[in-house]
Every structure is written in C-alpha cells, then in structure tokens.
Amino acid sequence: MNQISAWPDYDAGRYFCELTRQRDDAGPVPGWLIQRLERIGMADLRARAAAAETELIDLGVTFTVYSDATAIDRILPFDCIPRILTHGEWELLERACIQRVKALNLFLGDIYGPAKIVRDGIVPGELIFGNANYRPEMKDFPVPHGTYVHVCGIDIIRDEFGDFRVLEDNARTPSGVSYVVENRHLMLRAFPDLMAGIRLRPVDDYGRRLRAAMSEIAPGGLDDPQVVLLSPGIYNSAYFEHVFLAREMGVPLVQGSDLIVEDERVYMRTISGLRPVHTIYRRLNDDFLDPAVFRPESALGVAGLIGAWKAGNVAIANAVGTGVADDKAVYAYMPRIIKYYLGEEPLIKNVETHICREPEGLQYTLDNLDKLVIKPVGESGGYGITIGPRASAAQLEAARAALLADPDNWISQPMIGLSVAPTLGEDGIGPRHLDLRPFIVTGKESWVLPGGLTRVAMKQGSLIVNSSQGGGSKDTWVLAEDFSPEVLP
Amino acid sequence: MRFDPVLLSRDAEGLFWMARYLERVENLARLIEVTQSFESPGYERDAWFGLIRINADEKNFAERGFSPDADHVKRFYLLDKGNPTSVQANLEEARTNARTLRPLMSTEMWRQLNVFHRFASHIKPADLEGDALSRLCTALKDGVQAHTGITEGTFYRDQGWYFYELGRLVERADQTTRMLDIKYTAILPRDGEEKRVAELTQWNAVLRAAAGYHAFKRLTGPSFSAEDVVHYLLRDPSSARSVLLCVRRAEAHLDDLRRIYGLSQAWEAMEVAEYLRELLLEKPLSHILAIGLHDYLDIVQIHIQKLAGAIGRAFFRDWRPAPIAAPSSQSQSQSQGPAEVTT
C-alpha cells in the first residue's frame, strides 16, 4: 500500500503517506506525479533542488536564527516534492478553520466582555484572568465586527489513520504565509514539468484579501484608509515576511520610529510631513506595542498607540490580548469553547490533551511520561518539548522535576504518528513527517488561503518541523474541484 | 487606483545612503587602481599611504592596528570589515539599507545587491596581490555598475528615486575631488624630462581612474596641461564624473522635488548647491592652481558635505523629536536613531 513501484525503497511504514495513500478525489495525480519525478530523475532533481535553494538565498528569502550572540540568515530548506491535498480534504480543512476562528473571536469578545463562559463554568477563570497574555486594557473595548484575530495560523497534523487534528492555534502574529507564496513561485520556475496540466487552487490572492480585511476594520467612514505594516525591523527573524506582506498589500512597511501619536491620532513621518494612519497590521508582540502602556523600555513600539486605538482613531490587527486564546492550556478547552458558542462539534478534533494544572491530568502525565509528549504552555517554536517515547531516562527525570515544580506550566499529549510525505534527502527519497499551517484572514468574514504552509522535518524520523529547529517546507497543492484527469499528459 | 506615493523620511534617508555607500565602493575601487599605477620601485609605501591621506583615514588606520605599508593599506580598504571606510563595511551598510528598502526596490535590484555582497564577503588576501588586484577592482566596479544599471532600468521614478540619485551625485562629487587630490600625493622625480614623463603618466592614470581618458584625449589632443585635467574633472559640464555635472544634476533634482512634489523645504539645499556651483566656476583655474589645489579641494569637499547636511535637515531629520542625547554630527556617515535637531 505504501510501496511505490518507482521507488522500491520508499516505505512510509505505519504512517499515513500524503502522496501515496490513494484518496478517491485525487484522481490519477499522485501516480502521475511519481511518474513525472521519475522522468526528471534523481540527478536532475537534485540539481534543480540545489538551484532552487541558491535562488532563495539570492533573493534573500530568509529568516534569521538567533543562537547566543550570533544571528545567521538562513533559508527555509525547500523540498521540491509537493504535498497534495484533495478538494474534499481542503473543503473540510477550510470549514474547520473558519469554525475555529469564529469560536476564537467569540471567546475573546466574551472574556473581554461579560465572561459568560467563565460564569457558566466551562473554562476556569484563573486560566484566563491569571494568564500572562490576558490584557486588562481590553476589558469592555469592542472591536470592529467582533474580530480580534484577523490573521490566524492553525497548526494541523494528520494521524496514522489520515484523520486531521488541530495541534495548536496561533492567534497572535503567526508567520510563514510568505513561504506559501514563494514556494509556489519557486515550483513554477524550477519544476514547470512537474505541475503541467494539474489544476491547483491559486495562492496569489493573499495580499489582496489581507489588505481588504485591514480596510474593513479601519475607523468608519473612510473610502481608502491608510494601512501600514508595523515591523520590529530588519533584525526580526520574520523580517522577510514583513517585506513580502507590505509589498503584496501595497502598503508602507513602517517601524515604531516612523509613527507618532498626536491628539490620540496616529501619523507616519514622511518627507512631506505627518500623514494619518488608519489601520496597523502589526508584527510586533503586545508587550512592545506601546511603551506608555506595556514595556516602558521598548523602543520598537509607539508611545500613545493604545490610547489612539481606544479612542477609536486607529485599528490594530491582530487585536491586543489574543494571546490568551492560543495558549496551550486554553487550547485544551477549545472543543468545549466551540460547542459553547456555536453549538457545534469541532469539525477537526484537538489532539487529546492532559492539563497538568488539573490533578488528574498531572497524575496521568506523571504515570505515563514515557508515552507522552510533554509541552510547556507558554513556549512556541517547538522549544522545551520532551518526547517521552524518545527521551532518555535522564531527560524523563528532568521533565518529571519540571512538571512537579510548576504543574500549571505543562500539558501532555499522546504521541501522534504524524503523517509523512516523500521528501528528497541525502540518501534518496524517503518519508518525512510533516504538518500544515493554513492561514485565515478575517475582517468582516473569514477567508482561508488555499493550502497553507506545509512544514516538514528534514531529518529522517524527526517529528520537529519548526523552522528554528531545522524544519523545511514544501509547496502545498490543493487540487481544484474542476480538476479533470483527462487533460493530463 | 489611488496614486499618492508616500515616502517615509526613514526610507528617503535609506535610499540616499544606499546610493552613497555603493558609489563609495566603486570609487574606492577606482582609487585603488590608480594608486597601484602610482607605485614606483622603492616608493610603494608612499603611494599607498597617499590613499590613506586623501581619505583622511590616518587615525582610523592606526587605530585598527595597521602599519603604513602597501599590504596593510590594501587590507584596510578591501578586507577589514571593522574599518568603516572599507569596501566590506560600505557594502554591508548598503545592504543593510537595502533590507529596510526592500518594499521600494525591484526584486532585481535586491537580488543583485545580495549576490554582490556575498561575492565581496569572499574576497581573500590572495585577491589583493599582483595582477589579481586589478581584476578585483574591475569586479567591484562591475558590481556597482550592474547595480546602477539595474536601478536605472527598474526603479520606480517617484520621490524615492530622487533621493537615491541625490545620494549618488553627492558621493560622486566628493569622490572626484579625492581622485584629483591623490595626484598630489604621488611621488615625482626631481626634474627634467623624467619628471615631465612621470607627470604625464600620473595624470593619465587619474583620468583612467575617473573613466575619462578617452573623452579627455578626444577633447585635448596629445598634449595637455594639469589645468586641462583639473578642468575636466571639476568643471566640464559633460564629463560624467565631474563635480560640476554632479552638482548641477543635484540642483535640478532638488528643483523637481520642489516643483513636482511640492516639497518647498528643498530651498536650503538648493541654495547650498547654487553656492557650490559658483565656487566651482568663479575663479580661473590658473588662480586656483597657483594658490594650491589641495586647499581648494578641501573647501569644495566641505560644501559638498554641507549640501548633504541640508538635504538631511530638510527631509530626513527635522521631523524627529528632540534627541535624548545629541549624537555626533559627523555628516559623512548615516545617522543612527534620532538625529540632531539644528535650529
């Protein structure tokens, strides 16, 4: 089943393979793709993959890794064998993402408002009001269209049975969307023969959709509001993406020092004087936004920004205080949150999660350390994770000590056999684990970029797909509905 | 479609300086080439130290722990990343500015600069030796010229382009004065025919470095005087690198900014440019040469710096809040953070 005649050594084992597992609505695409890869041949495939990576370096499609005192520009390793999502799979993913964002926004509106969900005993109050990412400044401050999370990235994995599961919500400033678009461009340039005749959902619309959402949330009555992208600057690891998004939206890329607040209005400093700003898509954490309200030492933000926002003179996306919703501890309650606000079951389930702040969750975790993945609730980027089944005795003991020292800081989940896809490695084409991060843009309504970022662990057997830890990416193909197999050569 | 280009002051400053840093790289390559041709047996050291002198880098050079010999001067300018006047540092600064300017630049501009930067970061000591040096200088010039050409062919001509051009013109004007100045650091035989020939050779080298040899010969014929060369590099309104041509074009650009974009604050810089133009033309060259070209070039350089300062005050700086601590007002490098508010 998981064996491919063209690659006799390829074996996905017990994992779900995203390419070779036949799905009814994929038509002959997987088979043809494999034939086309065969036709290109290993040597040419390698040469073209190398050329594609050089191109990424030349174009500066890079992110920055900080280790100790050094900062190194790296490319996100690119794997040239695409990951395929069928029309049916995408339809489910799209609906599930919209459902989830809707619930996140209702949840945020509630907890910064009447907090009914707490009063009804669905989510413990201390999880919200005691959360470091809860912003009291947001209390009783309505946001346009009830949208707090304008840009959301939801990390989704696929288990051994091929069932999708949500691993994590990213509701603050999720990154990676630029790679979705750049990867597609790269594929079109370097592998036109691989893509010929296969109709895919396009990914080029992101900038327009984002710009439209940013205009929808601008203070009322403006035909053509001034939108800007606020970046921490060139030393930020996602700076390339900031450039990309500013360009795709056609808006100025500003830094804190370019903005000034006067009489609770925000202006940018131009060669012809101060110009009003109406919507700020910020790629800066809450903490740094306004030194007058949050961290006083932050030189990245703008003094008075929160005041201008609360006066209704500027829109900020994502809203301040969304971090309380994508917290790993709150994540565990998401199925109940969806049910509470929407009266629906989640279209895509969570990964089963044990909350160590609850005695039974802690006990279960301590009893099954060697079978579970143990995660700190406040970290991102794959840091601080212990993978029980792969940890040494010493690592397990360290995890146990950390859990006991501060149980509130931890959750645990069963080890999921992440799906795999054929990936070009040093010893040929082999299965590598991957996940998917679709991006959802919400102004008045939600829109999901077809596909999303497929992150792949480039090392054989590795489950860590994070770019900061050696993960790479693949182009994600969503097959179009009107895909007609007859036209394929 | 809305057509209302907004240019952030920070970006205007970034464009101005990106152009300056790149122009410096090209001119440094030119100066190094001409210096190599001034080397005469036994006097290599003097020729190379002359380069340090015309760039007023004596202190910087000593502080970086170098000693005044040919090898060290070459390393100082071509390899030393810690020397702010080196090719390496200038390219680093140009690329750092380019990174902040990427939404304004064409992909092709960014790509070329990125690749060029990488090329320069791989320069090895062996590339500085013998005949390799001249090839390296050619490659550096080619790199900047490719940049200039790509910019010409792809960069959108709004206000941003004017600031880019202003930076390039200001820097080129300054560098041409240094190219002339370097002739006066060169060693000449004491007198006689030998001296006459050596002088001719040196002027020819300066003209070649300024890419003006052929045009100059076409204008003057086989025999020429020092005055002719000085005229060509300072005052000839058609010579591509002449100070006058740069100043005139800068003036025209400032006027465009004022007229087309309504940026009336260009007036102060225009006045400085006008004064500079007068300074270049008012006195006969024979008079200037008699008083001393070196001192005259110093005055020209000071006014070129004033022009840059006036552009900065009008467009990059005045809007900024009062500084917490006044930084140094060194006008030859880009300001970091809030700049001084001059009243």
Domain co-membership, B132 together with B163: no
Q: Please list, in sequence order, all residues whose beta carbon lies within 8 angstroms of the beta carbon of residue B227, skipping any fewer than 6 positions away.
A: B285, B286, B289
Which two structure tokens, joined as six digits, stand for B213?
Answer: 């040899």
Binned at pLDDT 50, 70 and 90, residue B327 comes out as very low
Among A60, A234, A273, beta carbon nearest to B100? A234
Contact between residue A143 and residue A121 where contact means Cβ atoms under 8 Å apart: no
Inside any domain, residue B163: yes
How many alpha carbons lie under 13 Å from residue B175 in its C-beta half-sphere? 26
Q: What is the pLDDT of residue B323?
A: 43
Distance CA B147, CA A344 (A): 58
Domain co-membership, B174 together with B304: yes
A53-69 per-residue burial string, b: 16 or more CB within 10 A, e: under 16: bebbbebbbbbbeeeee
Q: Please list, in sequence order, all residues whose beta carbon lies within 8 angstroms of the beta carbon of residue A305, skipping any fewer than 6 positions away.
A: A259, A261, A266, A280, A289, A290, A293, A314, A316
H helices of A60-171, in order, are 87-111, 116-119, 125-129
Q: Do B102 and A243 touch (CB under 8 A)?
A: yes
**DSSP 8-state class, residue B312:** I
Burial of A402 (0-12, 13-18, 19+ CB in 10 A): middle
Inside any domain, residue B340: no
Higher pLDDT, residue A23 or B4: A23
Inside any domain, residue B40: yes
B321: region left, alpha or beta (phi > 0 left; psi from -120 to 50 alpha): beta
Tell me the nearest-neighbour CA distance from A228 into chain B, angstroms.
11
Number of A/B CB contacts below 8 angstroms equals 68
How far apart are the two ends of chain B, measured CA to CA in Å?
A: 40
Q: What is the pLDDT of residue A249?
A: 96
Most B CBs within 10 Å: which of A237, A271, A283, as the mutation test of the B interface? Answer: A271
Which two structure tokens, joined as six digits, stand for A297?
Answer: 């030492």
Higher pLDDT, residue A444 or A486: A444
Among B9, B337, B338, beta carbon nearest to A270? B9
Inside any domain, residue B333: no
- Transcribe B35-77 into DSSP letters: HHHH--TT-HHHHHHHHHHHTT-HHHHHHTT--SSHHHHHHHH
Q: What is the pLDDT of residue A221?
A: 74
Can you tell me the mean pLDDT for B264-274?
Answer: 96
Domain co-membership, B166 together with B304: yes
Most A CBs within 10 Å: which of B2, B3, B4, B8, as the mutation test of the A interface? Answer: B8
Show which residues on chain A lie within 8 Å of chain B, measured between beta carbons: 57-60, 224, 226, 233-234, 239, 243, 246-247, 252-255, 257-258, 260, 268-275
Q: Is the pLDDT of residue B321 over 70?
A: no
Phi, psi of A474 (to 5 degrees): -130, 155
Contact between residue A63 and residue A472 where contact means Cβ atoms under 8 Å apart: no
Which residues of B, range 42-81, sit inside 8 Å of A by Cβ? none
Q: Please list, in sequence order, all residues whose beta carbon lies within 8 angstroms of the beta carbon of residue B34, skipping any fewer than 6 positions away.
A: B179, B182, B205, B206, B208, B209
Counting the structural domains of chain B, the total is: 2
Contact between residue A369 and residue A400 where contact means Cβ atoms under 8 Å apart: yes
Tell me the nearest-neighbour CA distance from B103 into chain A, angstroms.
5
Question: For chain A, how big is the Rg over CA atoms in Å?
Answer: 23
Among A59, A270, A273, beta carbon nearest to B107? A59
Reference B162, options B236, B239, B251; nearest CA is B251
Contact between residue B113 and residue B119 where contact means Cβ atoms under 8 Å apart: no
Choose the final residue of a domain: B155, B177, B211: B155
Higher pLDDT, residue B148 or A73: B148
pLDDT in tens, A333-372: 999 999 999 999 999 999 999 989 889 999 999 999 999 9
Q: Do A269 and B319 touch (CB under 8 A)?
A: yes
Residue A423, classed as helix, strand or coil, is: strand
Reference A59, options B117, B107, B15; nearest CA is B107
Q: Is the pLDDT of residue A461 over 70?
A: yes
> Where is A179: in which H helix or E strand?
helix A177-190
Q: What is the pLDDT of residue A357?
A: 85
Q: Is the pLDDT of residue A433 over 50?
A: yes
Residue tagged 């090895």 (tokens): B124
Q: Do A224 and B320 touch (CB under 8 A)?
A: no
Distance CA A133, CA A170 (A): 13
Can you tell me the mean pLDDT for B317-343?
Answer: 45
Domain co-membership, B130 together with B188: no
Least confident of A448-457, B7-16, B175-184: B175-184
Q: Is the pLDDT of residue B325 over 90?
A: no
Which two structure tokens, joined as six digits, stand for A415?
Answer: 């080890």
Tell me the nearest-neighbour CA distance from A300 into chain B, angstroms.
12
B307 touches chain A (CB under 8 A): no
Most A CBs within 10 Å: which of B1, B4, B9, as the mutation test of the A interface? Answer: B9
Domain co-membership, B178 together with B131: no
Of all residues in chain A, the one with the smallest CA distance to B96 is A234
Q: What is the pLDDT of residue A1?
A: 45
Mean confidence (pLDDT) of chain B: 88
Binned at pLDDT 50, 70 and 90, residue A328 comes out as confident
Beta bridge partners of A190: none
Domain co-membership, B174 together with B281: yes
Tell me the nearest-neighbour CA distance from A234 into chain B, angstroms.
6
H helices of A317-429, in order, are 328-331, 334-342, 359-367, 393-405
Contact list in A for residue B315 (CB cut-off 8 A) is 271
Q: Do B7 and A274 touch (CB under 8 A)?
A: no
Distance CA B40, CA A308 (A): 69
Contact list in A for residue B7 (CB cut-off 8 A) is 270-272
Choose the final residue of a domain: B124, B155, B186: B155
Q: What is the pLDDT of residue A4?
A: 64
> Where is A187: in which H helix or E strand?
helix A177-190
Choose the final residue of a domain: B130, B155, B180: B155
Tell me the nearest-neighbour CA distance from A299 into chain B, angstroms.
10
What's the CA dihedral at A17, A18, A21, A26 to 10 degrees? 180
Among A60, A239, A246, beta carbon nearest to B114? A60
Share above pLDDT 90 across residues of chain B, in percent, rounded to a whole number: 69
Inside any domain, residue B61: yes
Beta-strand pair A259-262/A265-270: antiparallel
A440: region left, alpha or beta (phi > 0 left; psi from -120 to 50 alpha): beta
Q: Do B8 and A243 touch (CB under 8 A)?
A: no
Q: Is the pLDDT of residue A69 over 80?
A: no
Q: Do B103 and A252 touch (CB under 8 A)?
A: yes
Contact between residue A135 and residue A143 where contact means Cβ atoms under 8 Å apart: no
Q: Do A247 and B103 touch (CB under 8 A)?
A: yes
B103 touches chain A (CB under 8 A): yes
Binned at pLDDT 50, 70 and 90, residue A70 comes out as low
> Where is A193: in which H helix or E strand?
helix A192-195
Can you tell me the mean pLDDT for A241-258?
Answer: 95
pLDDT in tens, A81-137: 999 999 999 999 999 999 999 999 999 999 999 999 999 999 999 889 988 899 999
Domain co-membership, B122 together with B181: no
Domains of chain A: 24-219+314-346+416-487 (no CATH), 220-313 (3.40.50.11290), 352-414 (3.30.1490.270)
Of all residues in chain A, the one with the smallest CA distance to B100 is A234
Mean confidence (pLDDT) of chain A: 91
Distance CA A277, CA A257 (A): 14
Extract the runs of DSSP E, i.e. beta strands, from A239-371: 253-254, 259-262, 265-270, 273-276, 279-282, 315-317, 349-350, 354-355
Beta bridge partners of A155: A168
pLDDT in tens, A25-44: 888 888 889 999 999 999 99
Residue A242, classed as helix, strand or coil, is: helix
Which two structure tokens, joined as six digits, stand for A4?
Answer: 């491919």
B239 touches chain A (CB under 8 A): no
Domain co-membership, B128 together with B184: no
- Transcribe B84-119 into DSSP letters: TTSHHHHHHHHHHHHHHHTTTS-HHHHHHHHHHHHH
Beta-strand pair A446-448/A439-442: antiparallel
Contact list in B for residue A268 (CB cut-off 8 A) is 6, 8
Domain co-membership, B271 together with B171: yes
Least confident of A63-67, B24-28, B163-167: A63-67
Q: What is the pLDDT of residue B255?
A: 97
In Å, the largest CA–CA distance within chain B is 72
Q: What is the pLDDT of residue A86?
A: 94
Signed CA dihedral, A465, A471, A477, A478: sign only: positive
Host domain of residue B236: 157-320
Domain co-membership, B89 together with B182: no
H helices of chain B, in order, are 9-38, 44-54, 58-63, 70-78, 87-101, 107-121, 130-154, 159-183, 192-209, 213-220, 226-234, 243-261, 267-281, 285-291, 293-311
Distance CA A243, CA A61 (A): 10
pLDDT in tens, A193-225: 999 888 999 999 999 999 999 999 999 878 889
Among A57, A243, A272, beta carbon nearest to B103? A243
Q: What is the pLDDT of residue B328?
A: 35
Domain co-membership, B259 together with B223: yes
Q: What is the pLDDT of residue B221?
A: 84
Tell me the nearest-neighbour CA distance from A76 into chain B, angstroms.
17
Binned at pLDDT 50, 70 and 90, residue B198 comes out as confident
Inside any domain, residue B327: no
Reference A89, options A483, A484, A485, A478; nearest CA is A478
Inside any domain, residue B62: yes
Domain co-membership, B168 together with B70: no
Share above pLDDT 90 across residues of chain A, in percent, rounded to a whole number: 71
Tell me the nearest-neighbour CA distance from B185 into chain A, angstroms.
41
- Reported ipTM: the value is 0.87
B330 touches chain A (CB under 8 A): no
Distance CA B18, CA B168 (A): 9
